[in-house]
Amino acid sequence: MTVLPLGIYASAMDYHNIITLEPGKRGGKPCIRGLRITVYDVLEYLASGMSEEQILQDLPDLTSADIRACLAFAAERERRFVTIPAE
């Protein structure tokens, strides 16, 4: 991980081979490696306070890289989110 000015981190995580979109699976939501586990599922577990170890124990098909891919995917979506400046 490279540290940029102002404490911003640049991550080399390429989630494109991990996060999949399939129209017939989970309503087309982004899933992990074609599994029925969505990015939202993982983010919700993290937000509820579960540790990575707890998630991996509950969802043994996942890896640490899968969890990082979910975070990278969410971060990129947030960066793309368009905001309207306040007047």
**Consecutive 10-residue averages of pLDDT for the chain (87 residues):** 50 84 93 96 98 97 96 89 71
Architecture of the structural domain at 2-79: Orthogonal Bundle (1.10)
pLDDT at residue number 48: 98
Dist. CA 22–CA 75, nearest whole Å:
21
pLDDT at residue number 44: 97
Cβ proximity of 10 and 4 under 8 Å: yes
Beta bridge partners of 31: 20, 38
pLDDT at residue number 8: 52
pLDDT at residue number 80: 80
Element housing 52 (H / E): helix 52-58
| Domain ranges for the chain | 2-79
Backbone angles phi, psi at 24, to 5 degrees: -90, 0
pLDDT at residue number 17: 93
Dist. CA 80–CA 77, nearest whole Å:
5
